[in-house]
Amino acid sequence: MSSGNLLTDNPELYEARFPDTDRLAGRWAADCLRRYGSGPRVLDIGCGTGRDAAYLHDTGRSVVGADLSEAMLTYARTHHPGPAYVRADLRGFRFPEHSFDAVVCLDSALLYCHTNDDLDGFLASCRRSLVPGGLLVAEMRNGAFFLGRTELLDAPVVRSFDWQGVAYASTTTLHVDRAAQLLRRTRVWTADDGSAPVEQRSAWRLLLPQELRYVLAAHGFEVLALYDGPGPRTEPAWQEGDAPGARLDGDRLHLVARLTPPT
Ligand SMILES: C[S@@+](CC[C@H](N)C(=O)[O-])C[C@H]1O[C@@H](n2cnc3c(N)ncnc32)[C@H](O)[C@@H]1O
């Protein structure tokens, strides 16, 4: 068995496995930016294949997409042109001061901040890059969902799908590493094209809402909205015109925070 990150190494496969044909994530992010009055310059950090960055670009914004994966960036430049795409680590990135009116961070990319130092690095970088009053819009798993619930942990989840004539199956096992406060994932991919199985390991920080509020306040951000849905990856999904929710019980977190201007 070989190991690697099959999805971030193969962006086409990523989009096939997680299709968003209606551009729900991009539309939700655009709605947040409009609703809270953001200016036009947006950084999409952890931009992946670039489809949300390109959607925001197509709404008339000036967008930079940033990711750690060269494969993702190469794919984004070809398949989702418009934004500028650059390599950056969300745990500590440097753009000229005040270059952006908003930072967007979607589909749990923020949870690659595994440690408190990573989180501090992310928020300090956002603070430096944003104009005073700039927005942080993020969408991720909700660590609080796992308090007292084991439904996502009890058994491996097997998913199958066909792509370009090949049948793929993924078997995903999740477990909670309580000491590190991480949700660890092992995913084994098999394909019926004779290739060897691939094992992929990753982890997300289990961030709790109050912890998130605390660290945001420590970095000078005021929370404008923090709720579990509706969002682009909730059931039911967010639709145009839906207002931010008020609950925090489901397995996603949606965050809008404003960098408070210096007094
Ligand atoms: C689940 S994908 C989400 C991609 C995109 N935001 C979306 O919603 O489709 C997570 C992305 O974060 C990127 N990533 C992981 N660790 C990162 C880091 N330390 N800095 C920047 N990007 C990172 C991965 O390469 C991947 O593209």
- Domain with residue 200: its CATH number is 3.30.1300.30
Query: Is the pLDDT higher at 5 or at 119?
Result: 119
Q: Which residue has the tokens 């370009």?
A: 164
Ligand 1 centroid–CA 263 distance in Å is: 34
Do 121 and 235 reside in the same domain of the chain? Answer: yes
For ligand 1, which residues put their CB under 6 angstroms from it? Answer: 8, 25, 46-48, 52, 67-69, 72, 89-91, 106-109, 112
Atom of ligand 1 nearest to the CA of 51: 9
Do 13 and 133 reside in the same domain of the chain? Answer: yes
Ligand 1 centroid–CA 88 distance in Å is: 10
Give, using CA atoms, the residue closest to atom 10 of ligand 1: 109
Give, using CA atoms, the residue closest to atom 14 of ligand 1: 46
Do 121 and 176 reside in the same domain of the chain? Answer: no
pLDDT given at position 2: 53
pTM to 2 decimal places? 0.95
Do 117 and 31 reside in the same domain of the chain? Answer: yes
Q: What is the pLDDT of residues 112-133, one digit of tens each?
A: 999 999 999 999 999 999 999 9
Q: What is the mean pLDDT of the chain?
A: 95
